[in-house]
Structure 1
Amino acid sequence: MLLPILGFLFVVIILYIYYNYRSGLPGPWNLPIIGYLHKIDPNLPNITFTKLAQKYGPVYSIKLGSMDTVVISDPKILKKVLMKDEALARPPLFLFNILFGNKGIVTSPTNIWKEQRKFIHNYLRTSGATKLSSKKITFEEQARTYAEEFIDHILGQGDRVTLYPFEPIVHYVGSISSTLIFGTIFTRDDETLLKIENNFKKMMLLAPIGGPLNYLPFLRFLPKFKQTVASLTKVVEETRQMVFEVSQTHTTLKLDENSPSSLTEAFWLQRAKFGDDESYDPEQLRYLLYHVFGASLETSVNTIMWFILHMAQYQQVQEKVRHELVTVLQGKAPTVQDLTKLPYTQATIAEVFRIRTIIPLGLPHYTLQDVQVDDIKIRKGTTIMSLLWAIHMDPKVWKEPEEFRPERFLNDEGNFFSTESFLPFQAGKRMCVGKDMGNMIIFLFVATVLQKLKIESCDSAPVDMSYVCGFTLMSKPQKITFVRI
C-alpha cells in the first residue's frame, strides 16, 4: 500500500518541478493552477514584478495562472524579441480581450494589424501628425489653438485660479485628438469627452494586466469577480458605442481622397477601394476608432496631468523650462521645429514619461512559435510582458531613479539625448503608431501653457505624487493653482 502512495508522490513532485522549470529561465516557484498570482500586489503590480526582476534578473519566467509568462526588463533583449514576427500576437487574456476585442489595432490578428498600422501611419503623415509630415503646420495650429483655449478658460475665471485641472484638460487635449480622428469640434458645455475619458479610466482600473481574472477566467462565476466582468463589459460596450456615435454624428463625409478631413473619412475612402476586405469592414471601424481615440486620449491626458503635477511640485524646474521657452521663442508660438532648440523642455517632458510610465507593464505580446534571441529561448504559447517600469526605474541606468531630474536627458554640452533604456511607447514592430502625434500634442500644449501660466500647488501644500496602477498609471484627483504671468 505504501509503495503506490510513494510512487504517486514521486510523480507529483516530478510534474511540479517540470511545471516550474520547463522554460529554462530563472524565476520564482509557482503553485499549480494559480501560478504566482497569489503573491502579486493588486495595487502595485509594477513593484511586485520589478522586485522579482531584481531577484531573478532582467529576463525571468513566471506562471500567471497556467499561462507561461516571460518578463523582460532588459531593453536590448526586449527590442530584439519584439522585432520577431513570431512574437507579434496578443495573448488570450480574458479581461484584455473584453477590453480590446479582436479587431481594431491593439489586438487585431497580425494580417489586419499590418494593414491597419500602414493605413493609420499614412493618414497621420498626410494630416501633419508625424514629425516627417509636410503638413505639420496645420496640426500644430490646431494643437496650439486648443492650448490657448485652455488658457483662456483658466484666465476667464481670474488671475489666480485654483481648480481640479483634469476636466478642462480632458476637454481641450481631447479636442485635439477628436478633430484629427472624427473631424469634430466639441463645444465647452459638451460633456461627451469627459464621459468617454472617465469610462476609459474605469476600464483601466477594472482590467489590470496582472489581475487574476485575466489568467483564471473561471473566477468570473464567483460573486466578487462576476461583478467586475459585468461592469467592464458594460462600460466597454457603452464607450465603444459613444465613440462610434461621435464619428457618425460629428463627421461630415466629403470622401475627398486627396484630402480626407478625418481618420474616419480616410477609412471610408479605403473601404471604397478594398470593398468587403475584413480590414475595412464597419465593425473594424468601430473598434479602430475606439482603440485609436482611447489610446490618444489616455496617453496625452495622463502625461499632461503628470507634467502639471511635477511643475507644481518642482518650481525650479518649471522656472528653467519657462526661461528657456521665453528666451528661445521670444513670444512666438511654439512649433515642433523648435523642439531641438529647447533641450531642457524636451528633457523635462522625457523625465515625466520616465518617472511615471503610463503603461508600466507594457502591452503584452504572445509567441505563436518558439522565439530565439541570443541564448534565450522563449517557447511557443508564452506571454511576453514588457516591464517598462523596471526599465525606467533601473538604478544601474538612472541614478536615484525616484528623483525627478530632467538633467539626466542632457549631455555635457546641454543638448537633449535619449538612451536605449527610455521606452515610453514600448518597442518593436507593434510599437505605438501614434508616438509622433502624442509627442507633438504634449509638447505643443505644455509649451504654450507655460508661457502664460505659472503652476503652483494648492495652498502651497505638497503635491500628491502617488499613483493608481491599473492598466495605466493614473494620478490622483487634486486641486492645482494657475497664475497669470
Structure 2
Amino acid sequence: MGLFLVALGLLAIYLVHFYFIRRRQLPPGPFPLPFIGNTYSFAHTPIDTCVQKWKDEYGDIMTIWMGHTPIVTVHDSKVIYDTFVKDGDAYAGRAQQRWNEIFRPGHTGLIFSEGPLWRDNRRFALQVFRNLGLGRNIMQERVLDDAIALIDYTKKEIKAGTTEFNFFDELDISIGSIINSITFGYRFSRDDRTEFIKAKKIAVQQVKFGGSILYRTMEEHYEYFRYLPFFKGTYKQIVDHKTEFTDFLGGQVATHRKNIDLESDEEPTDYVEAYLKHQHKLDKEGVKDHPFSETQLYSALLDLWVAGQETTATTLAWMVIYIIQNPEVQKKCQAELDEFIGDRIATLDDKVNLNYVNATVAEAQRLCNLVPINVPHRTLRDVEIMGHKIPKHTVILNQVSTVLYDERYFPGAKTFKPERFLDDKGKFYAPPELMPFSVGKRACLGEGLARLELFLFTANLLNQFKFGEVPGKPITGERMVAGTTAPAPWVCSITARH
C-alpha cells in the first residue's frame, strides 16, 4: 500500500509538472497525453496532415509533443526568415535525439551534430564537394554520366519491347550511383544490383524509422521501453539496423584504407579518401581530440547517403508522376525543349532558356512536399517569437511542409501548376516561400548537388521520352508518409521522342 501511494504521488507530481508547468511555458498546441505526447494522433493520420490541421487551428506558432519532448513549430514564411536566417546563430543547435546514441554515438555526423564538430565537418564536406567539381563542369559530367546511362538503358528496354516500366527503381539506382561515386568512388551496376540493394536498404530503414509511432514514442526513454511488449521489437530492429550499416560502411572504409596512399599529394577522388587523408594529416601533426574521428566518418557517410540518395530519387519519381497526371505540362516542357535543345543532351548552360522546365521542377518539389516534419533545431539562447518567450534549449523547427501548402503563398496549393513560378514575361522565379531545402545555417548541405541533379535529369528525361500510364494500371499518386513522403508503388509506359 505504501509503495502504491508513493507511485501515485510521483505520478501526480509528474502530471502537474507536465500539464501545468511545462505546457504553460510554451505556445499552445494540441492536447498531449502523458509519456506519449501527440504521437497517438499519428496512428491513423499521417504526421504532415496532423501538423497542417493543428496549424490551421493554433496558428503560425504552436507546440507539439513527441513523446515527452515538446517541439515548437513555426509556420509563417516571414517569421521563419526573421528567426532562422536573420538570427540564425540562436537556432543553430540540434535536438539531442536519444536514438543517435545508437545510430551516431556522440551525436556525430552532419545532420544531427552541432557546435564546432558540426561546423568543422560541414565546412570540410562542402570543400570536398567543391574539390570534386560542384559548381564546375566536373560535377555536371558526373551527373550527366548517370543521366545518359539511364537514357541508354531505357531506350534499350523500349527496343526490346518493354511496355511497362518500374521507373522509380531506375531513378533510384541512377541517383544512388552519383552519391556513391562521390562518397566511395564507384558507380553501381544495373546488371548486378546486389550492392545497390544493400545500400538502399540502409537508407530506406533510416527514413522508415522516422515515421514510426513506436520509434517516436520511445525516443526519450528507449532504455525502458525496450523491455515492453510491442516496443522491444522496434528496439531490436534498430540495433540490427545499426549492425547492418556499420558493417557496410566499415567494409567500404577498410577497402579505401588498403588501396590509398595516405602520404600522397594527389587530389582525393571521393569523400572517404579525402576524409582519411585529412584525418591522417591531423594525427601526424599531433592534433589531439580533432573532430575527424572514425565514428564521425561513419555518421557522416550515413547522413550523406540517406540525404543524397533517398530525397532526390523520390522527388524525381514525383516529378514523373505529376507530368503523367498533367499531360499538358509534359507537352509544354517538351515544346520548350524542342525549341532550345533538339535531340542533344541538355546541360546547365541551357538552364537560362528552359523557364518552363525550371518551373516544373520547382512545382514538383513544392507539391511532393517531401519532408513531413523537419529535422528539429534547438535554441542556443532565450528567444522571443510572435510574443512568445522561448527558453534556451527548446526544441524548435521551421515547418516547411505547411509553408509549401500555404494558400497565402501558393493559391490552389494542392494543384500542380508550374505557371505559379513564371513571371508576366514567362521567366522563371523562385519566391522566398519555396524552401524545400529549408533555410538558415542548418539548410540542406547537399542543396547544390540536388538542384543540379533535378534539373539535368528532368530536362533530359523529358526531352528524350514521353511518359504515360500503363492501360489498366492507373497511377494513384497516394502519399506514403514516413521520414519522407514517397509515392505508392507505380508503373508507367515510356516511348522515345527522337
Give the equivalent residue in structure 2 for 1:365. Answer: 377
CA shift for structure 1 position 438: 0.8
Cα distance in structure 2, aligned partners of 1:303 and 1:433: 17
Mapped pair 1:25 → 2:27 = yes
Structure-1 separation of matches of 2:320 and 2:15:
54
The structure-2 alpha-carbon separation of the partners of 1:437 and 1:46, relative to structure 1 and needing over 3 Å to count, comes to same
1:246 corresponds to 2:252: yes
Question: Structure 1: how far apart are the matches of 2:294 and 2:104?
Answer: 16
Between 1:374-383 and 1:119-128, the stretch displaced more is 374-383
> CA 1:98–1:341 in 2, change beyond 3 Å: closer, same or farther?
farther
Paired residues of 1:148 and 1:449 also in contact (CA < 8 A): no
Q: How many residues align?
A: 473
Aligned equivalent of 1:54: 56
Judging changes above 3 Å, is the alpha-carbon distance between structure 1 residues 58 and 450 closer, same or farther for their aligned structure 2 residues?
A: same
Contact 1:357 1:392 in 2 (8 A): yes
- TM alignment of 1:199-238, pairs within 5 A: 199-208=202-211, 211-215=216-220, 217=222, 218-238=224-244
Tell me: CA distance 1:414–1:100, structure 2 relative to 1, closer, same or farther (3 Å).
Answer: farther
Shift of 1:15: 5.3
Q: Which residue of 1 aligns with 2:7?
A: none
C-alpha offsets along residues 354-410 of structure 1, whole Å, 9 cap, x if unaligned?
111221211111224322346342222321133221111111211111101111111
Residue 434 of structure 1 deviates from its aligned partner by 0.9
Which stretch has the larger CA shift, 428-437 or 266-275?
A: 266-275
Q: Distance in 2 between matches of 1:439 and 1:97?
A: 32
Distance 1:228 1:285 in 2: 26
**Superposition TM-score, scaled by structure 1 size:** 0.90
What RMSD, in angstroms, separates the aligned Cα atoms of the two structures? 2.6
Task: Determine helix, strand or coil for the equivalent of 1:372.
Answer: strand
For 2:407, which of 383, 395, 398 is the aligned residue? 395
Distance 1:245 1:319, change over 3 A: farther
Letter aligned with residue 316 of structure 2? I
Do residues 90 (structure 1) and 98 (structure 2) align? Answer: no
SS of the residue 1:430 aligns to? coil
- Work out the CA distance in 2 between the residues paired with 1:43 and 1:28: 14
**Percent identity among equivalent residues?**
25
Q: Secondary structure at the match of 2:427?
A: coil
Q: Secondary structure at the match of 2:267?
A: coil
Aligned equivalent of 2:5: none
Relative distance call for 1:283 and 1:14 in structure 2 (3 A) is closer
Tell me if structure 2 keeps the 8 A contact 1:23–1:61: no
CA–CA separation in structure 1 for the residues paired with 2:76 and 2:377:
16
Mapping of residues 120-269 of structure 1, within 5 Å: 120-129=125-134, 133=135, 136-159=136-159, 161-188=163-190, 189-208=192-211, 211-215=216-220, 217=222, 218-249=224-255, 252-253=259-260, 257=265, 259-269=267-277
8 Å contact kept, 2:256–2:272: no
CA distance in 2, matches of 1:231, 1:165: 29
**Cα gap change, 1:214/1:17 in structure 2, threshold over 3 Å: closer, same or farther?**
closer
Partner residue in 2 for 1:457: 469
SS in 2 for 1:454: strand
Q: Mean Cα displacement is larger for which, 229-238 or 158-167? A: 158-167
In terms of mean alpha carbon deviation, does 263-272 or 400-409 score higher? 263-272
CA separation of 1:26 and 1:197: change in aligned 2, threshold 3 A: same
- Deviation string, structure 1 residues 295-346 (Cα, Å, up to 9, x no partner): 1011111111111211222211112112212211233322223222211111
Alpha-carbon distance in 1 for matches of 2:129, 2:15: 56
1:17 deviation in Å? 5.6
What is the rounded CA distance, in whole Å, between the counterparts of 2:75 and 2:493 in structure 1? 38
Whole-angstrom distance in 1 between the partners of 2:298 and 2:71: 31
What is the one-letter code of the residue matched to 2:255?
Answer: T
- Long gaps (5+) in structure 1: 1-7
Gaps of 5+ in 2: 1-9
**How far off is 1:259 after superposition?**
2.5
